[in-house]
């Protein structure tokens, strides 16, 4: 599927309802990572019904344990394109026998992309089509490439408009889970901080508490390359791979489990709950720099 206007050209595939290309025509530059498997084989996966890993790769629902995969099954599922225009595309994933083996809820997941000017809006709608309350987390994982292949993270800065500092936690690598007991401070100067390889030595930086509503990847001189608006998201991740020429800006509604979490999914911090017949909606916006 292709969306296009005077400023941006976007490609989306039904596999995972994943955006695989965002090209800025004004600046003649690719914005989205090209999925080179040397570093990371994805572009912009949708994380559902779990963001990150669950503790020991299982989740407990009504007393039963279910196996989980990192970031859930949506990113590896084939969606159906249900609407396509020059600037809008909508996709649908419906629960089935295969999904119920690992996630015992009936649902419809709608993903809609709307292209307007220099922005691409990403909207999610989760409908609970079952007869019991449904629990899940959902998130975005777009990877933004650097302007040139020879550039490094040190050629860029991260800007957080309106912020003087941010608090974050890290992943306990031995447990493959978040460690909320250790909180770190990201100090900012002029709302910004340099990007370094060392930032991602412990996987993603995890920001809880709805701290991030807007973030930009900027060149070292402060010129904006690409940004994101994500109001109403309680969690946010920033991630990359060692020496990779990209960084992921990840708006999350819920996140990975904490170390030691073995309770019911309904008791998980930041869990989303939708009653039978109910609907959940959330969206974020990707913005090309001026």
- Please list the residues that pair with 83 across neighbouring strands: 90
Tell me, what's the pLDDT at 290?
A: 87
CATH number of the domain at 198, please: 2.70.98.10
Sign of CA dihedral 143, 239, 116, 151: negative
Token readout for 162 is: 């309106």
Cα 278 from Cα 186, distance rounded (Å): 38
Cα 286 from Cα 228, distance rounded (Å): 5
| Cα angle, residue 114 at apex, residues 81 and 227 outer, rounded to 5° | 125
Tell me the per-residue pLDDT of 180-220, one tens digit each, with 9 for 90 and over. Answer: 999 999 999 999 999 999 999 999 999 999 999 999 999 99
Tell me, what's the pLDDT at 93?
A: 98
Tell me, what's the pLDDT at 115?
A: 98
How far is CA 117 from each of CA 43, 250, 290, rounded to the nearest angstrom? 22, 22, 11
Token readout for 60 is: 């407990």
Cα 227 from Cα 168, distance rounded (Å): 20
For the chain, the domain total comes to 1
Question: Is the separation of the CB atoms in 148 and 246 below 8 Å?
Answer: no
Total H helices, total E strands in the chain:
1, 25
Residue 33 phi/psi, 5-degree rounding, is -60, 140
Cα 133 from Cα 53, distance rounded (Å): 22
Cα 165 from Cα 192, distance rounded (Å): 9
Identify the domain containing residue 267 by its residue range: 2-288
Token readout for 240 is: 């990359």
Strands 107-116 and 272-274: unpaired
Tell me, what's the pLDDT at 29?
A: 97
Residue in the block written with tokens 């990779």: 244
Q: What is the 3-state secondary structure (H, E, C) of 24-45?
A: ECCCCEECECCCCCCCCCCCCC
pLDDT in tens, the chain (290 residues): 999 999 999 999 999 999 999 999 999 999 999 999 999 999 999 999 999 999 999 999 999 999 999 999 999 999 999 999 999 999 999 999 999 999 999 999 999 999 999 999 999 999 999 999 999 999 999 999 999 989 999 999 999 999 999 999 999 999 999 999 999 999 999 999 999 999 999 999 999 999 999 999 999 999 999 999 999 999 999 999 999 999 999 999 999 999 999 999 999 999 999 999 999 999 999 999 98
């Amino acid at each position: 599927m292709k969306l296009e206007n005077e400023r941006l050209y976007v490609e989306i595939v039904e596999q995972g309802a994943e955006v695989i290309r965002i090209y800025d025509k004004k600046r003649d530059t690719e914005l989205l990572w090209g999925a080179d498997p040397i570093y990371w084989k994805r572009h912009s996966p949708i994380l559902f019904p779990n963001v990150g890993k669950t503790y020991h790769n299982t989740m407990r629902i009504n007393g039963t344990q279910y196996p989980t995969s990192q970031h859930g099954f949506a990113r590896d599922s084939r969606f159906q394109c249900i609407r396509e225009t020059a600037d809008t595309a909508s996709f649908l994933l419906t629960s089935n026998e295969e999904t119920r083996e690992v996630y015992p809820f009936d649902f419809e997941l709608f993903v809609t992309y709307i292209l307007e000017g220099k922005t691409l809006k990403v909207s999610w709608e989760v409908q609970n089509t079952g007869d019991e309350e449904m629990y899940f987390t959902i998130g975005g994982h777009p990877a933004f490439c650097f302007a040139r292949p020879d550039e490094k993270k040190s050629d860029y800065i991260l800007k957080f408009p309106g912020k003087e500092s941010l608090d974050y936690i890290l992943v306990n690598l031995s447990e493959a889970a978040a460690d909320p007991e250790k909180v770190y401070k990201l100090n900012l100067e002029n709302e910004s901080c340099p990007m370094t390889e060392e930032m991602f030595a412990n996987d993603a930086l995890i920001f809880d508490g709805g701290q991030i509503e807007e973030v930009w990847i900027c060149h070292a001189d402060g010129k904006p390359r690409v940004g994101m608006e994500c109001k109403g998201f309680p969690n946010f991740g920033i991630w990359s791979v060692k020496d990779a020429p990209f960084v992921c800006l990840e708006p999350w509604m819920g996140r990975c489990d904490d170390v030691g979490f073995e309770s019911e999914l309904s008791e998980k911090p930041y869990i989303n709950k939708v009653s039978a017949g109910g609907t959940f909606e959330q969206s974020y916006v990707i913005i090309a720099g001026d």
